[in-house]
Amino acid sequence: MRRTAALCLSVVVAALAGCSDDSDQNKRSEWTAAGSERLEAVAAALAAAFDGECGEPGLNPFEMFRLSMDRFDSDVLPLAQATCDIEEEVVEITVLQSADERSQYVDDRSNGICGQALEKDVPLPGLRWITLDEVSIQPDSEGLARRIAAAVGGVYDPRPCTDTELIDWTTAAISRLEDLAGDIPCVDLSVVDRAVVNGAIDSDRAVLDLAIGQCRYRAGTIEIIAISTSTDDTPGFVAARRSQACSLTAISGPDFVILARESEAAAVSAAVGYPAEPACTE
């Protein structure tokens, strides 16, 4: 494995993971061979799923890891940790000794990073994890996290930094989004992160039980807004989204809106059984 100083965003403070105590395990001065071997296997699975990306993960510096984790109240020391790039995101892979230790590591790291972000007044909605037995994988975005989880058979585990933070779309809305993509059908569905939408229309405090995704259909890309439960904020949100896509055509049903180019709109309309209309009237 090549070494690199690349570190994942997930982090407001550099390389925040590690620990120290008096056990033999925590007197190690380097990553273990068994941990590195397991890490390489996970990276190979990711490379197979993402067109070769993550084929050469770079091990994070061991001593930097230990020093940074002294800021957290944790006694967990992974067997190996590395980062790689997938779809322009830095993804961190960590191998622990057991699933229980991995669970403790995710708890400690999430609490520590969120705590430091709050203390330093750094905007960090939360962290996103995929857990797979004794392995954790940490990308930045919800969309990539969900696709990594599906690719490796892991569990997606988002961790908001506060009880009131809304970092992801709801599970029910994601399920409806996937159903609609299958009905059309379109391919390569990618969830649009809530944080991206929040920044675009200043909706971070809106109560929204929906999900947005984009996927390839014929020669173009379509956007699907799947609504699990309509709230007081839903009509205004959908109207704003349609206004942003005024050049497109909208296909609206009782719990969804699909935005497509005119060339694809008729076929999408036929697939879902609802008429097409201009996305907005200027």
Per domain, the residue ranges of the chain are 25-160, 171-278
Q: What is the pLDDT of residue 22?
A: 38
Taking each helix axis from N to C terminus, what angle separates 194-201 and 234-244, rounded to the nearest 10 degrees? Answer: 80
Q: Do the strands 187-191 and 209-217 form a parallel or antiparallel pair, or are they unpaired?
A: antiparallel
pLDDT score at 5: 27
Distances in Å between the Cα of 137 and the Cα atoms of 77, 131, 192, 212, 256 are 16, 6, 20, 23, 32
pLDDT, residue 64, reads 80
* pLDDT tens, the chain, 282 aa long: 433 323 334 444 343 333 334 344 556 778 999 999 999 999 999 999 999 999 999 999 988 877 766 677 788 889 999 999 999 999 999 999 999 999 999 999 999 999 988 888 888 889 999 999 999 999 999 989 999 999 999 999 999 988 766 788 888 999 999 999 999 999 889 898 887 776 555 554 567 789 999 999 998 899 999 999 888 888 888 888 898 889 999 999 999 999 999 999 999 999 999 999 998 876
How many CA atoms lie less than 13 Å away from 114 in the CB half-sphere? 17
Query: Which pLDDT score is estimated for 11?
Result: 41
CA dihedral 210, 215, 219, 220 (to 10 degrees): 40
The pLDDT value given to residue 145 = 94
| Count of C-beta atoms within a 10 Å radius of residue 200 | 12
Residues forming a β-bridge with 225: 212, 257
Look at residue 46 in the predicted model and tell me its pLDDT. 97
Q: Please say whether the beta carbons of 145 and 175 come within 8 A.
A: no
Q: In angstroms, rounded to a whole number, what is the distance separating the alpha carbons of residues 4 and 75?
A: 25
pLDDT value of residue 139: 96
